[in-house]
Structure 1
Amino acid sequence: MNSRERVLARIAGQPVDRLPVMPITMMFAGDRAGIPYGEYCRDYRRLVEAQVRVAEEFDFDYVSAISDPAREAADCGAKIQWFPNQPPALVEEEALLADKTTLARLRVPDPLGGGRMTDRVQAVALLKEKTAGEKIVEGWVEGPIAQGADLRGINTIMLDFFDDEAFVRDLFEFILEMELRFARAQIEAGADLIGVGDAAASLVGPQIYQEFVWPYEKRLVDGIHAAGGRVRLHICGRTNPILKGMGALGCEIVDLDYFADMARARQEMGAQQVLLGNLEPVGVVRNQTPEAIRAALSACHQAAGERYIAGAGCEIVRDTPPENVRAISDYARACRA
Structure 2
Amino acid sequence: MNAEELIKELQTLPDEMTSSERYAAYARGEEVDHIPFYYPGNGSTLAPLYGYTIEQYRSDFEIHCKVMDELHNEFGNSISASANMGLKGVGEAVGSLVVYPVNSIDYISDYILKDYKDLESLRFEPASNAFLQKKLNHVYALKKHYGDSLPVGVSVAGPLSTAASIREPESILKDMRKNKDNLHKLLAFSTSCALTWVETCKKEFGKVSAGIADPVSSSTIISPNSFREFSKPYLKELVQGITEITGSAPGLHICGKTKPIWEDLLELGINEFSVDNCEDLSELKNSLGRHMTISGNVPPVEVMLNGSIDDVIESVRKCLLKASDSPNGFILDVGCQLPIGTPRENVYAYIYAAKKYGRHAKKGQLCGGLL
- The reply to whether TM is greater than 0.5 is yes
Pairing 1:336–2:360 present: yes
Separation (CA, whole Å) in 2 of partners of 1:55 and 1:330: 16
Q: From 79, 82, 90, give the equivalent of 2:108.
A: 90
Deviation at 1:289, TM superposition (A): 2.3
**Does 152-161 or 235-244 show the bigger shift?**
235-244
Q: Which residue in 2 is equivalent to 1:220?
A: 238
**Does 311-320 or 20-29 show the bigger shift?**
20-29
Q: Which residue in 1 is equivalent to 2:226?
A: 208
Separation (CA, whole Å) in 1 of partners of 2:128 and 2:30: 40
**Contiguous gaps of at least 5 residues in structure 1:** none
**Contiguous gaps of at least 5 residues in structure 2:** 1-16, 362-371
Q: From 195, 198, 221, give the equivalent of 2:214.
A: 198
Q: Radius of gyration: which is bigger?
A: 2
Separation (CA, whole Å) in 1 of partners of 2:28 and 2:75: 24
The amino acid across from 2:339 in the alignment is V
Normalising by structure 2, what TM-score?
0.80
- Contact 1:125–1:190 (CA under 8 A) maintained in structure 2: no
Pairing 1:311–2:333 present: yes
**Does 271-280 or 166-175 show the bigger shift?**
271-280
Q: Deviations over 1:72-125 (max 9, x none)?
A: 21111112223222233211xx32111111102112221x43533334344445
Deviation at 1:315, TM superposition (A): 1.4
Separation (CA, whole Å) in 1 of partners of 2:149 and 2:236: 30
Pairing 1:103–2:119 present: yes
For the structure 1 residues 244 and 26, does the alpha-carbon distance in structure 2 shift closer, same or farther, using more than 3 Å as the test? farther
Deviation at 1:158, TM superposition (A): 0.7
Q: Which residue in 1 is equivalent to 2:77?
A: 60
Q: From 38, 47, 58, give the equivalent of 2:55.
A: 38
Equivalent residues in 2 for 1:161-310, closer than 5 Å: 161-188=176-203, 189=205, 192-202=208-218, 203-228=221-246, 229-306=248-325, 307-310=329-332
Which SS does the other structure have where 1:17 is aligned?
A: strand
Separation (CA, whole Å) in 2 of partners of 1:55 and 1:272: 33
- Contact 2:243–2:249 (CA under 8 A) maintained in structure 1: yes
Separation (CA, whole Å) in 2 of partners of 1:237 and 1:73: 22
- Contact 2:143–2:149 (CA under 8 A) maintained in structure 1: no
Q: Deviations over 1:140-178 (max 9, x none)?
A: 111111111111111110111111211121111111111
The amino acid across from 1:86 in the alignment is S
The amino acid across from 1:336 in the alignment is H
**Does 44-53 or 33-42 show the bigger shift?**
44-53
State how many pairs are aligned: 334
- Contact 2:44–2:58 (CA under 8 A) maintained in structure 1: no
Normalising by structure 1, what TM-score?
0.88
For the structure 1 residues 263 and 119, does the alpha-carbon distance in structure 2 shift closer, same or farther, using more than 3 Å as the test? farther
For the structure 1 residues 148 and 311, does the alpha-carbon distance in structure 2 shift closer, same or farther, using more than 3 Å as the test? same
- Contact 1:146–1:201 (CA under 8 A) maintained in structure 2: yes
- Contact 1:148–1:171 (CA under 8 A) maintained in structure 2: yes
- Contact 1:197–1:235 (CA under 8 A) maintained in structure 2: yes
Q: Which residue in 2 is equivalent to 1:16?
A: 32
Separation (CA, whole Å) in 1 of partners of 2:139 and 2:271: 19
The amino acid across from 1:87 in the alignment is I
Deviation at 1:5, TM superposition (A): 3.2
Q: Deviations over 1:285-324 (max 9, x none)?
A: 1222222212211211222234111211111112111111
- Contact 2:316–2:354 (CA under 8 A) maintained in structure 1: no
